[in-house]
Amino acid sequence: MPNQNGEVSVYRTKDLTCQQINEIGQLHVAEIQNKKLLGRAEIVTSSILKQDLKIEADPEPHPRHANIIGWPTDKSKHKMIAIELAAEAQLHLINNP
């Protein structure tokens, strides 16, 4: 779901190994939020664009960081779009000891 700025934070992971993706998640998401990294969802760009959303590069805190933008102003539509995106995403759980 978009934050108060109308953005969803994502990382572009094309051509990265699972280990590299998990390192980005650990360093730039989990540690910042003081949480344990449990997994990640992966979705292809075309699924996002199909929802009339856009992806905008935002190299902070990492060069591969971006935001999904262009969410409708009607918040009830946010949930419908999020459901559609979740249906097309793949969940990858991380085996933490």
pTM of the prediction?
0.90
Q: Partners of 21 in the beta sheet? A: none
Q: What are the domain boundaries of the chain?
A: 8-93
Q: Among 53, 11, 48, 17, which residue's Cα sits nearest to residue 32? A: 11
- Cα→Cα distances 81→36, 44, 70, 71, Å: 27, 15, 12, 9
Question: pLDDT digits over 8-37, tens only?
Answer: 999 999 999 999 999 999 999 999 999 999
Long-range contacts of residues 27-30, Cβ cutoff 8 Å, at least 24 apart: 28/61, 28/62, 28/65
User: Would the pLDDT of 67 be above 70?
Assistant: yes
**pLDDT the model gives residue 97:** 55
